[in-house]
Chain A
């Protein structure tokens, strides 16, 4: 995996030096050892800043629609990032020729909260990575090592496409499948099987916590509307007053807008400061779309999105034909 980091730097340097791209999106060291930050590399010499480790958690596709306006952009794309890029190409937000997809085989990102010691704090923790599957931790509890696969983020554990589906070039060998990939819907199936009143109460309690910071929307590559329905002043679809009803409207509205488009990168849930299980809504609708239309989002840039398409022979349960 150290080789992968080197390959990222070499490729970025080459693409920038030859003028093939004006920008390379990747990851650089964060302000603490268990975070990275999105990196915007514009000069060949800055390619040295690029890093790869189990904390490269952001979906970089979110920056693409704005970034490609000024020229060609290369992206370090994990499986989820690549699926988001496919969706953006499909939906005409990113011209295919404006993006160079550098495929990164991904073995999953670590859930940082699970690295904390007995005191529950990550304050002062030192983290090293062996370049493979093990993290070394040192804090008040002393030294210990943790296998990345034991502290995976749930979205990564369930990931079905950790090797990118669409690339211009792969930077490394395909990654082995993730441990939960065979059953990505187990948790939402269990949730869906609960009585409707119970589910209503569950979701009510979840969205009641929402503070409407819109971090979920901001981190989502598929939430690229210039003006979100929640922010529209005329007509006003939703109030700025923070009530559970309005928050439910937001989360349900966003989930519907993402049906058949969400690639389950899980960024919405990761960035939610209030711990709202947003991904469960998206996953629920993804399951519907897969079952009813046999369609999985983010795999084929020429694919026809079922909810973005009209065909005269579509079933019309609302009966408008007879009006």
Chain B
């Protein structure tokens, strides 16, 4: 982490008070336990128990920026009497707290798409501009993690306004943006000492040491190609569920549907995935991606070819959720490794 940012310290005991103060001005979203084994980002209150340590949460904060289901507009009547009522973008000031560096980077990848040079999505923009992202450095990787293989770091700052690092009895706080500074100012934090800075350096080095890179990303990106025999091998095993895409912090494809009554209805968008056969099935029945082979190719190529071509960055931050939650052990790390090692 660069030393160019202001570095502060927050006593562990003062964290709850700070969160309480934030709650007065912001909607606060943080990682809480849904069950023993499942952790998600949920709106939190003064009494919520946050899960800031341990491996990263089961679900990323993506649903708070790109909800699974979102109304675009409502309509009433028909013909000349048709009335449209666009949904107002939600711009409630929000703090997403306890975001892991992989998930914060993933928000930047969503920004590429929804705030990108091609289109500006007003619904995403409304939420995104009203959101401050407070990160927490990852001390303990989960078994599918591979952030360092795709250019990230367990202590990376991309996409974050603040980065907290747990130092036991206190948090080190790196102030990364003006929005982060404003947030930190509400907490009564003190300047970090030289010892604090050194303690953080050690923690970050330890975290990085636990995460050696597994493959050469550039080589993998270079070799991912249309005719690879690997797609059919993956497809054989793949059950065509959406667990990988729906848990992915960067997957962002959606469907648009109408829900109607006699009088009117709403048009909404909802998550969809290239892994479902219906995703590309046309009204008349033709499907340009007729088998799981084309669908397997699509998910990997979208992340590691098309998004790279479009934005210069891969659409994967190595959170490893797809790796861990695949019912049949399709491991994208092994796929990328195979491509990276081709022609060596």
Interface residues of A (CB under 8 A from B): 30-32, 35-38, 40, 58, 62, 113, 119-125, 209, 211-215, 217-219, 231, 239-243, 267, 270-271, 273-275
Contacts and interface: CB of A to CB of B under 8 A. Distances in A.
Contact of B210 (A122, A124, A211): A124
A38 B143 contact: no
A304 B263 CA distance: 47
Q: Which has the most chain B C-beta neighbours within 10 Å: A30, A123, A217?
A: A123
Contact of A267 (B36, B242, B246, B327): B327
26 contacts: A30-B331, A31-B329, A35-B329, A37-B237, A38-B237, A113-B37, A120-B140, A124-B143, A125-B143, A212-B242, A213-B242, A213-B246, A213-B273, A214-B241, A214-B242, A215-B239, A215-B243, A215-B327, A218-B327, A240-B272, A241-B69, A271-B243, A273-B38, A273-B58, A273-B246, A274-B59
A123 B55 contact: yes
B40 A209 contact: yes
Contacts, number: 126
A273 B325 contact: yes
A260 B59 CA distance: 34
Interface string B140-154: 111101000000000
Contacts of B241: 213-215, 217-219, 271
Contacts of A270: 327
B65 interface: no
Nearest to A113: B37
A122 B143 contact: yes
Given A31-B323, A219-B241, A273-B247, A119 B257 contact: no
A231 B278 contact: yes
B271 to A, nearest CB: 8
A209 B42 CA distance: 11
Q: Which has the most chain B C-beta neighbours within 10 Å: A213, A270, A275?
A: A213
A213 B246 CA distance: 6
Given A36-B329, A113-B37, A121 B142 contact: yes
A79 B272 CA distance: 35
Which 4 A-B residue pairings sit nearest by Cβ, starting from the closest?
A218-B241, A31-B331, A218-B239, A271-B327
A275 B37 contact: yes
Interface in B81-102: none
Contacts of A242: 68-69, 270-271
B286 interface: no
B62 to A, nearest CB: 11
B268 interface: yes
B262 to A, nearest CB: 15
Contacts of B68: 211-212, 242
Contacts of A32: 143, 331
B268 A241 contact: yes
B257 A30 contact: no
B242 A241 contact: no
Contacts of A38: 237, 328
Contacts of B333: 31
B17 interface: no
Interface in B56-114: 58-59, 68-69
B199 interface: no
A192 B241 CA distance: 30
Q: Is the interface of B mostly helix, strand, loop or mixed?
A: loop
Interface in B290-343: 321, 323, 325, 327-331, 333-334
Contacts of B54: 119-121
Contacts of B328: 37-38, 58
B35 interface: yes
Interface in B228-270: 236-237, 239-243, 245-247, 255, 257, 259, 268, 270
Contacts of A271: 241, 243, 325, 327
B167 to A, nearest CB: 17
Given A211-B271, A215-B241, 13 more contacts: A31-B323, A31-B329, A35-B329, A119-B140, A122-B143, A209-B38, A212-B271, A213-B246, A215-B242, A218-B327, A240-B270, A240-B272, A242-B270
B210 A31 contact: no
B121 interface: no
B198 interface: no
A43 to B, nearest CB: 14
A240 B247 CA distance: 17
Contacts of A267: 327
A35 B327 CA distance: 10
B57 to A, nearest CB: 11
A124 B55 CA distance: 13
A240 B327 contact: no
B34 interface: yes
B143 A123 contact: yes
A62 B69 contact: no
A274 B237 contact: no
B5 to A, nearest CB: 28
Given A40-B236, A120-B140, A271-B241, A219 B327 contact: yes
Contact of A275 (B35, B236, B247): B35
A239 B257 contact: yes
A80 B40 CA distance: 32
A30 B143 CA distance: 13
Given A120-B54, A211-B246, A275 B69 contact: no
A304 B302 CA distance: 48
